[in-house]
Chains A and B, each alone.
Chain A
Amino acid sequence: MAKYLLLKHYRGAPAAVNDVPMDRWTPEEISAHVQYMNDFAARLEKTGEFVDGQALAPDGAWVRYDGEGRPPVTDGPFAETKDLVAGWMVIDVDDYERAVELAGELSAAPGAGGKPIHEWLELRPFLTAPPTVTE
């Protein structure tokens, strides 16, 4: 019973094995990829392990507070940023091993040539609430 965040990166992750940009795939390969992702989420719903998942647009901005009475300052787009998150999925699983297993399956999503991308996904545990029994 632990929640994990699976992070998919546009940039910043180590290079995948099947590292062909998506715009060089065939339309059928893109459809197959999207289908795989949808099926994966649907399967996790059925196993009672799905919490949330969203894709993010690559465009964004930095925003910060700029003092009393002033509007927040925005900056960007940040084309030079090294790390760019493409989307996330939150899972609720029995243990770390299961989280790794699922991340591995997600990373096997098909890409160019219909072969698995072997994409690196970032797996991050949630900080939990403190246990009741403390000593």
Chain B
Amino acid sequence: MDEALLRGLTPSVLAALVRRGADFAAAEDAVQDALAEAVRVWPTGLSPGSRPRSGGGDPIRDAKGWLITVAWRRFLDAERADAARRRREVLVGREPAPGPAPAVDDTLRLYFLCAHPSLSPSSAVALTLRAVGGLTTRQIARAYLVPEATMAQRISRAKRTVSGVLFDRPGDVATVLRVLYLIFNEGYSGDVDLAAEAIRLTRQLAARVDHPEAAGLLALMLLHHARRAARTAPDGSLVPLAEQDRGRWDTGAIAEGTGILRAALARDRLGEFQAQAAVAALHADAPTAEETDWAQIVEWYDELVRLTGSPVVRLNRAVAVGEAEGPRAGLAALAALDDSLPRHTAVAAYLHERDGDPVTAARLYAEAAAKATDLAERDHLTRRAARLNARRPR
């Protein structure tokens, strides 16, 4: 049984239940039950000729119909078990005859609901992964390294928060994109590849909305994901972009990401994700680190500064300036920025190293390591400091 295919059906199954009158929270539980049921009873390998052992139809021909039927039954069972008997009568009466599958944009409404502004970022992420992604609470809990009970509470609170939100109201694509970006960027561990899941969800979204930034985010994800194999050494340490084995970059993902980006840029509605993807595309385009078109990267950072005004973007721009125009120019750009910015000291260390000042660089690398917020970066910066210190007599 193809789990990815199954999970891809989650949003439309959930939407179908909500359309039939189920409240969102209960419908979501019922869909999870139906997914678990499918995993349990469907023949392994959805191939022609294999036969289902139970269910409401032939899952091979109509997996979605099967899931809707089973989920609806589960929902009604739960309602019956509940004290809400009067409500049940109404719902049973409302059950429509089997008909065409729900409209495509039901899925879109679900994205909006799960990224609703009333949710905190961590709640929106958890709810999106479960209700749109079809992941189990246990999988999400493991991915974010919290107990399953904690994640279950987080999800049920999130469901309660949005239960009063009208399902038919259009939402803000930008909010959804931020949630998907979070899932991609903070994808930690566990048996679920959250980066790949974020790509799948963004691809599904980009196919449904006419929004260049959705395409921009998808391109950004693909271009970064393409480098994944080269990003870490066998010992788990971080390999900086300049030192990565570019032969290990995924050329298929790069080609796809670049193509999507080009089409998005052609529409002349530039946004943050497209500009970030453009930077990633320029890196992907360089056969060696030395051949990187830093001048153009600086131009994209100028665009990003204009779009976001973000100090972090200005910091990245200073790095790019250091590459394009030399470390002194980079240090000059850096001097204009608040030195309490995260990674400011790390950037200063790097630029001083490039400028031929290993003593200052080593001191700053050690200082930056003490301030690092992630373990791999701290180890990386400590190694840089150690390497420079080892080169000079003690």
Contacts and interface: CB of A to CB of B under 8 A. Distances in A.
Interface in A10-56: 45-52
Given A1-B144, A133-B184, A45 B378 contact: no
- Find the residue from B155, B186, B231, B372 having the highest chain A CB count within 10 A: B186
Q: How large is the interface on A (under 10, 10 to 19, 20 to 34, 35 or more residues)?
A: 20 to 34
A110 to B, nearest CB: 26
Nearest to B153: A48
Contacts of A52: 147
B147 A50 contact: yes
Interface in A97-135: 125, 127-135
A132 B198 CA distance: 12
Given A48-B150, A135-B280, A130 B195 contact: no
Interface of A: 1, 3, 45-52, 92-94, 125, 127-135
B25 interface: no
Given A52-B147, A127-B375, 8 more contacts: A1-B122, A49-B150, A50-B150, A51-B147, A92-B145, A94-B121, A132-B184, A133-B220
A132 B187 contact: yes
A48 B157 contact: yes
B276 interface: yes
B153 A129 contact: no
Given A92-B144, A92-B146, A135-B316, A130 B153 contact: no
B376 A92 contact: no
Interface string B187-220: 1110000010000000000000000000000001
Contacts of B195: 132
Chain B interface category by residue count: 35 or more
Contact of A129 (B125, B151, B184, B376): B376
Given A1-B182, A129-B189, A134 B373 contact: no
A130 B122 CA distance: 18
Contacts of A135: 241, 279-280, 283, 316, 319
B121 A127 contact: no
Of A50, A127, A130, A131, chain B has the most CB atoms within 10 Å of the CB of A130
Contacts of A133: 184-185, 220, 224, 276
B345 interface: no
B149 interface: yes
A128 B153 contact: no
Contacts of A127: 372-375, 378
Contact of B149 (A45, A94, A125, A134): A45
A125 B377 CA distance: 15
B310 interface: no
Contacts of B283: 135
A118 B375 CA distance: 33
B296 to A, nearest CB: 14
Contacts of B157: 46-48
Interface string B359-376: 000000000000011111
Contacts of B374: 127-131
Contact of B150 (A51, A125, A134): A51
Nearest to B158: A48
A131 B376 CA distance: 10
A1 B121 contact: yes
B274 interface: no
Contacts of B378: 127
A51 B375 contact: no
B388 interface: no
